[in-house]
Amino acid sequence: MPTETERMLAGETYDPTDPDLVADRARARDLVRRYNATTEAERDRRRALLDTLFDAGGDEAIVEPPLRCDYGYNISVGADFFANFGCVFLDVVPVRFGDRCLLGPGVHVYTPTHPIDPEERATGRERGEPVTVGDDVWIGGRAAVTPGVTIGDGTVVAAGSVVTSDVPESVVAGGNPARVIREIPVEDSDPDGEPAGDG
């Protein structure tokens, strides 16, 4: 019989109050607390903590504190990853970022989802849907990415957007819910930038 951790990682309905999952979240909170207490001069310590917290890529990532996450071990980041102040990753299943991703301040990425039916929701059980962000993506400040979303390579998500469905590659998307505003020509290596806001 699968454990609750195995159910969670498989995207099945699971019980988040399971003692092993509670312990895993406590471990992540301890690492995050220590990370958020570091100073700018403690670059090696920051890298070591992120390398321990994240599944992959933490040793090269730049993440401005404060950071928040559920488990950490479901987060992987590519080369040259940068996240500005106050980002939140609720990673009950994988959250994957490609190479050269930039996140503005206060970007939230959610993978947990709860039953629509109130009686079922009252049981406390939940499940997760992974989020995948491609290479060369810029997500503007205060944007939220909801469970199950994939964002294509080279895309810009405008500040304050709520991304509720997949976004194709090489576009600027924005709004609530986010929609494609325009395409980015392949040769346009520095799109206007204005829609995304603070990075």
Structure letter (DSSP) for residue 196: G
- Under DSSP, is residue 198 helix (H, G, I), strand (E, B) or coil? coil
Q: How confident is the model at residue 186, as a pLDDT?
A: 75
Q: What is the DSSP letter of 180?
A: E
Domain that holds residue 45: 4-196
pLDDT tens profile 148-183: 999 999 999 999 999 999 999 999 999 999 999 999
Number of Cβ within a 10 Å radius of residue 94? 18
Cβ neighbours for 54, distance < 8 A, ≥ 6 positions apart: 61, 72, 73, 75, 76, 77
182: β partners = 172
**Mean pLDDT, rounded, of the chain:** 95
Is the pLDDT reported for residue 123 higher than 90? Answer: yes
Active site residues: 114
Q: Which band of pLDDT confidence, cut at 50, 70 and 90, is reported for residue 44?
A: very high
Q: Could you tell me if 77 and 58 are in contact, meaning their C-beta atoms sit under 8 angstroms apart? A: yes
| CATH at 133 | 2.160.10.10
The answer on pLDDT for 8 being more than 60 is yes
Q: How far apart are CA 104 and CA 139, in angstroms?
A: 6
* pLDDT of residue 194 exceeding 70: no
Integer angstrom CA distances of residue 61 from 20, 27, 51, 100: 28, 20, 9, 10
Q: How many CB atoms lie within 10 A of CB 74?
A: 25
CA distances from 30 to 4, 35, 37, 69 (A): 22, 9, 11, 11
The pLDDT score that the predictor gives to residue 197 is: 57
The total number of structural domains that make up the chain: 1
